[in-house]
Structure 1
């Protein structure tokens, strides 16, 4: 797999998992923990949390994909 296609897959996975994280964070009742739930600061916090969580999950899948690609080296002489 070339560097270009690997980069494209990494970008795609990151965007997908950030979107899924944003969707999942919407079910949390943040109004219990913040003063003004409708403020821009809370939305910024939600965005930053979804980026951090989505990036972590995407990084796991990217690492897993890389490791599974390395497994074929076990069977090559």
Structure 2
């Protein structure tokens, strides 16, 4: 496999990992009652916080998995 194809495949895997992690964080956050933090009638603010938290936490989780995947690939060069 040439370098461009390998880079494209790696980028596609990174995008899919990121999207999967954001979806997992969204799913987990649906069980958290964020509306208790806000005043009544602030549904838009609660949804906005829900989206922001899912994106931030999902990005952090995806970064961990992508780094871990990269480190595990590099271990093959150790031996």
For normalisation by structure 1, the TM-score amounts to 0.89
Number of corresponding residues = 75
Deviates more, 1:27-36 or 1:46-55: 27-36
**Secondary structure of 1:35's match?**
coil
Residue 30 in structure 1 maps to residue 31 in structure 2: no
**CA apart distance, 1:36:** 3.3
Query: Residues 31 and 37 of structure 1 are in contact (CA less than 8 Å); yes or no, is this contact kept in structure 2?
Result: no
**CA apart distance, 1:37:** 5.9
- CA–CA distance in structure 2, aligned partners of residues 11 and 57 of structure 1: 13
Unmatched runs of 5 consecutive residues or more in structure 2: none
Give the direction of change, closer, same or farther, for the CA distance of 1:37–1:68 in structure 2 (3 Å limit).
farther
> Equivalent residue for 2:70?
66
Report the RMSD for the aligned CA atoms in angstroms.
1.5
Query: Residues 21 and 53 of structure 1 are in contact (CA less than 8 Å); yes or no, is this contact kept in structure 2?
Result: yes
